[in-house]
Amino acid sequence: MSGLLDITNLRIDLGQARTPVSPVGPLDLTLDVGECLGIVGESGSGKSLTLKAILDVLPEGLVRGAGTLRVMEQGKWVEPAAKDLRGRKIGLISQEPGAALDPLMRVGDLIGEIVRLHSGCSRAESKTRAIDLLRQVGVPDPEKRATFWPHELSGGLKQRIVISMALACKSEILLCDEPTTALDVTIQAQIVDLLRDLQKQHGLGIIFVTHDLALIRQIADRICIMYAGLIVETGPSAEIFKAPQHPYTRALLAALPDIEASSGNLQPIEGTPPNPTDFSVGCRFAARCALATEACRAARPLLEKTERGTMVACFHAGVAP
């Protein structure tokens, strides 16, 4: 497979803190053409921030503190500024389709605006292209829907509009920030199918952030498990689901019911993730980990290759609790 996106040493900092605080990172991510990378973690693990950091659209108070971001452009790795990637190479799909669309603009105009911005075409042309896009993402009766206001559409349709905006300019990478969380179960499945179809048609690379393990198992080729702003385990999806190595991953999978890998008895993970201001020098999971030793508290384990082709950041990787 050929590379598409390569991020190294990405870090997100709290803007005006006196002592530097980094809720996320440093972490590395790669994505290949046509690949779907899943990022999994509890809420607050920084998975959603990681996506936003890629396009540098972090919420106020947070900044991309460090990291290099390279993309493949005609066979060469280049390092463009975030604003040159937005909407051109990389599109973003957010969690809340209701909030993602400006309520005071008709959806056709919203899509048309993005189309015009990137292609510089005329108003009339952008209108037909917007309708084409709506058709592509499976919106029924697109000519009519284009004249609708966002609030006149269902959640599923709104999410399709958001996807069409992300695709408006032939993005090669889609960043999906829990795109189905706010939707009904049946609609969730439709949106996931749509994303898979689009991925196949256009050879898109997708980074899919979610806390839904069952979903990620269905769609991701490779997954990263994030905990307290760091990747603790990563590798091919099948391997990780078959034999999780990190205690946190195991606990996550154990919390999932009907999974063969789980030992059968359902156990919620005790405790809560630490606050970014309380991050310790050691392993951030140590406080909740049954296997934690002095070594875990003294130094942070780094990601190491395992013989199964995955990478784990744990001194006790693979040890059964």
Partner 1 sequence: MSRAGYIAKRLLQTVPLMAGILLMVLLLLHAIPGDPARAIGGINASEETVQKIREDLGLNKSLPVQYITYIGNALQGDLGQSTRSGRSVTSIIADRLAPTIWLLLTGMVLSIIVSSVVSAISARNKDTWLDYSFVALTIGGISIPTFWAGLMLILLIALPTGLFPISGFGQGFSGHVNSIVLPATTFAIAISPVMIRALRTKFIALYRQDFVMMSRAAGLGEGAILFRHLTRHAALILITMISVQVGPMIFVSVVIEKTFALPGLGQALVNAVSQRDFPVIQGITLVTALFVTFVHLTGDILTSFLNPKMSLK
Tokens encoding 147: 């004249």
Total number of residues that touch partner 1 (CB under 8 A):
32
Exposed e or buried b per residue across 272-289, where buried means at least 16 C-beta atoms within 10 angstroms of its C-beta:
ebbebeebeebbbbbbbb
**What is the C-alpha separation between 261 and 47, in angstroms, rounded?**
24
CB of 182 to partner 1, least distance (A): 11
Q: Which residue has the tokens 């973690």?
A: 41
**168 is a site residue for partner 1 (CB under 8 A):** yes
Q: Which of 233, 116, 89 is nearest to 171 (CA)?
A: 89
Among 105, 121, 243, 261, binds partner 1 (CB under 8 A): 105
Spatial contact of 108 and 142, defined as CB atoms under 8 Å apart: no
Q: What x-and-dash track marks residues 126-165 binding partner 1 by CB under 8 A? A: -----------------------x-xx---------x--x
Spatial contact of 72 and 3, defined as CB atoms under 8 Å apart: yes
Among 49, 114, 133, 254, binds partner 1 (CB under 8 A): 114
Rounding to the nearest 10 degrees, give the CA dihedral for residues 114, 117, 120, 126: 20
- Cβ proximity to partner 1: between 76 and 151 the closer is 151
CB of 147 to partner 1, least distance (A): 11
Tokens encoding 229: 């702003």
Listed ranges 103-111, 231-239, 242-250, 278-286: which one lies at the site for partner 1 (CB under 8 A)? 103-111
**72 is a site residue for partner 1 (CB under 8 A):** no
Listed ranges 33-41, 55-63, 70-78, 255-263: which one lies at the site for partner 1 (CB under 8 A)? 55-63
Tokens encoding 163: 């996807």
Spatial contact of 283 and 303, defined as CB atoms under 8 Å apart: no
- Cβ proximity to partner 1: between 106 and 196 the closer is 106
CB of 231 to partner 1, least distance (A): 23
**118 is a site residue for partner 1 (CB under 8 A):** yes
Among 63, 66, 121, 169, binds partner 1 (CB under 8 A): 169
Amino acid type, 59: P
Among 91, 112, 229, 274, binds partner 1 (CB under 8 A): 91
Strands of 173-177's sheet, edge to edge? 90-93, 173-177, 205-210, 36-40, 222-227, 230-236, 311-312, 304-305
- Cβ proximity to partner 1: between 100 and 204 the closer is 100
**96 is a site residue for partner 1 (CB under 8 A):** yes
**Interhelix angle for 155-167 vs 123-136, to 10°?**
120
Among 60, 258, 294, 307, binds partner 1 (CB under 8 A): 60
Tokens encoding 289: 């980990």
Q: Counting beta carbons within 10 angstroms of the beta carbon of residue 117, is it exposed (0 to 12), middle (13 to 18) or buried (19 or more)? A: middle
**205 is a site residue for partner 1 (CB under 8 A):** no
CB of 78 to partner 1, least distance (A): 17
Residues that bind partner 1 (CB under 8 A): 52, 55, 57, 59-60, 83, 86-88, 91-92, 94, 96, 99-105, 113-114, 117-118, 149, 151-152, 162, 165-166, 168-169
